[in-house]
Amino acid sequence: MEHNSKIIAITGAGRVLGYSLTEQFLKKEHMVFVFLRAENPNIIKLKEEYKDKIIILKMDVTKELEIKKAFKQLSSMSENIDILINNAAVHLESLDRN
């Protein structure tokens, strides 16, 4: 890895903003760990292009066990991260306003 290269982790990387950030960081030759709830064809294309610069980890932010497993995987592959972008969202179907 280059001296100025950063290690970046992005949750919700399969959606518009997360995907765009992932793509831009890869173009600048940073190492990117992406967290996805489900397989994403656009991220797979980035993986094919950038190979070992992008690591795909499965994680649903609504499931605590998946969060722990994903970050355990991350910590086994990298001693640190320079930038964490929490882009994943939880959709609440209804809000109790009473």
CATH number of the CATH domain containing 76: 3.40.50.720
State residue 3 phi and psi, 5-degree precision.
-60, -40
Q: Is 94 a member of any domain? A: no
pLDDT digits (tens, 9 = 90+) for 29-40: 999 999 999 999
Report how far residue 23's alpha carbon sits from residue 91's, in angstroms, rounded to the nearest whole number: 25
Query: Residue 16 is part of which domain span?
Result: 7-86
Q: Is 95 a member of any domain? A: no
Q: Is 1 a member of any domain? A: no
pLDDT digits (tens, 9 = 90+) for 54-73: 999 999 888 999 999 998 99
The total of structural domains in the chain comes to: 1
Predicted TM-score of the model (pTM):
0.85
Gyration radius from the chain CA atoms: 14
Q: Is 97 a member of any domain? A: no
Helix or strand holding residue 54 (H, E): strand 54-58
Q: Is 92 a member of any domain? A: no
Rounded to an integer, what is the distance from CA 32 to the centroid of its chain? 7
**pLDDT score recorded for residue 98:** 45
